[in-house]
Amino acid sequence: MERARILRELALQIEGELDRGILCWPEPEWNEAVRRFLTPPAQPAAPHRPAPSSGPAAFARRRPPAAEPTGTARRRPPAAETAPRAPKKQPTFPPPPEATGRAPDWEKQLAALKREAEACTRCQLHETRTNVVFNSGTGTVPLVFISEAPGANEDAQAEAFVGRAGQLLTKIIAAIGIDRKDVYICNVLKCRPPQNRNPLPVEIETCSPYLFKQLEILKPRVICTLGLFATQLLLESKAPIGKLRGRVFRYHDTPLLPTYHPAALLRNPGLKRTVWEDVQLLRKLLDEGMAAVAKDVVAAETPARRPQVASRDLFGAQ
Ligand code: URA
C-alpha cells in the first residue's frame, strides 16, 4: 500500500517535470520508460491536451494522450490530482523584423557563392561527399543559425539540418514564433566529415571563408551559433561551450548568442530548458537589438551575462 502511494507520488512528480520540459534522465530510453509507466494501457476516450507550440515543453517529444487505467497496479490518483490543469500561458510574438542593409541582389550573390561551393575541391572532404550542403531556409528573417558540419542525412539531401537534430531545431525555432524556412541555417563546413568525425582545423580554415561571405551578404540582425565549433570559430575563443552559451557577444557589429547544439539536447534532454531560455533571449535580440541586453546589464549586473572573450563581446568593446 505504502509502495503504491510512493510510486503514484513519484509518477506525478515526474509527469510534472515532463510537462515543464525538464527531462532530466541521461538516457532517452529512460524517458520512454517513464512515459510508458505514466500511460496506462487501456484506450477509452480521454481529453486531448494539445502540445504547446512554445515553452520548453514544446521541444519535448509528444506524450500519447492519457488513457483510463484498467489494472489494479496503476490506480488512478484522486480526482483533485488529475483535474485538467489550466493551460499554461505561452509567450506570443509579433512578426519578426525584416532584414535591412542588404544589397538588392543579395539572393543572386548567395546563389553564385553556392555554385562556387558546389564546385569546391579545396580540401579532402570533396572526395567523400555526396553533396555540398550550403544552407537551409530563405533567410528573409535576418536571423542566422550556424552549426558544425552536415551529417549523413544532410549529405544525402543537400540541405542543412534535415535529420533528427534538424527536427528538434525546427521546434526550437518555432518556440520563438518563427518558421524555420524563413531563417538561414548553415554550417562551418559545407561537406560532411566521414563518419561524422569532428571537423579538422585545416578543414575549418579552408571552408570558413564561405561562411564569412554568407554572413557578409546576409547582414543578419542576430547570429546564433549552435555548439562548440561554430562558436569558437566566430568568437576566436578556446573556451568550452558551457562557458559561452547564453551570453551575448558581437561578431563584427552583429549580436551573437551561442547555445548548445540540438544533438546535445537529444543526448541530454535536461539541457532543453537552458536552450529554451537562450532562444527567448535570442528572440529579444532579434526584436530589440543590443538594447535587449543593455537593460539586463544595467538592471542586474548579472555575472552570468558577463562575457569571457574580451575582444568581441558586448562589454569588452566598451
Ligand atoms: N548537425 C550539424 O551540425 N549540421 C547539420 O546540418 C546537421 C546536423
Domain residue limits at 251:
106-305
Same domain, 285 and 171: yes
Choosing from 136, 144, 161, 190 the residue with most ligand 1 atoms within 8 A of its CB, the one to mutate for a pocket test is 161
What is the average per-residue pLDDT within 97-116? 98
Q: Which pLDDT belongs to residue 59?
A: 67
Report how many domains make up the chain.
Answer: 2
Ligand 1 mean position to 130 CA, how many Å? 15
Atom of ligand 1 nearest to the CA of 148: 3
74 lies in some domain:
no
What is the average per-residue pLDDT within 86-103? 87
Distances from the Cα of 272 to the Cαs of 74, 79, 178, 195, 309, in angstroms? 29, 31, 18, 26, 25
317 lies in some domain:
no
Same domain, 26 and 150: no
Give the residue, by CA position, lying nearest to ligand 1 atom 3.
Answer: 148
95 lies in some domain:
no
Same domain, 154 and 285: yes
Whichever domain contains 265, its CATH number is: 3.40.470.10
Q: Which pLDDT belongs to residue 294?
A: 73
Q: Which pLDDT belongs to residue 66?
A: 39
Least confidently predicted of 11-20, 169-178, 288-297 = 11-20
pLDDT band for position 313 (cuts 50, 70, 90) = very low
Listed residue (258, 33, 69) closest to 146, CA to CA: 258
111 lies in some domain:
yes
Q: What average pLDDT does the chain have?
A: 80
Atom of ligand 1 nearest to the CA of 160: 6
Atom of ligand 1 nearest to the CA of 186: 6
Ligand 1 mean position to 227 CA, how many Å? 10
Same domain, 145 and 269: yes
313 lies in some domain:
no
Same domain, 157 and 294: yes
Q: Which of 73-87, 89-103, 228-242 has the highest mean pLDDT?
A: 228-242
Q: Which residues line ligand 1 (CB under 6 A)?
A: 147-151, 154, 160-161, 165-166, 187
Helix, strand, coil percentages for the chain (3-state, nearest 5)? 45, 10, 45
Q: Which pLDDT belongs to residue 10?
A: 59
Give the residue, by CA position, lying nearest to ligand 1 atom 7.
Answer: 161
Listed residue (53, 47, 54, 41) closest to 85, CA to CA: 47
Ligand 1 mean position to 108 CA, how many Å? 25
Is it the case that residue 307 has pLDDT exceeding 60? no
Same domain, 147 and 253: yes
What is the average per-residue pLDDT within 219-246? 98
Atom of ligand 1 nearest to the CA of 187: 4
- Give me the half-sphere count of Cα atoms (radius 13 Å) on the Cβ side of residue 41: 5
Same domain, 280 and 183: yes
Q: Which pLDDT belongs to residue 293?
A: 87
Same domain, 249 and 122: yes
94 lies in some domain:
no
174 lies in some domain:
yes
25-54 residue pLDDT tens: 444 455 555 555 545 455 555 554 555 555
Greater model confidence, 14 or 272 = 272
Same domain, 119 and 212: yes
Ligand 1 mean position to 134 CA, how many Å? 11
Q: What percent of the chain has pLDDT over 90?
A: 63
Q: Which pLDDT belongs to residue 191?
A: 98
pLDDT band for position 109 (cuts 50, 70, 90) = very high
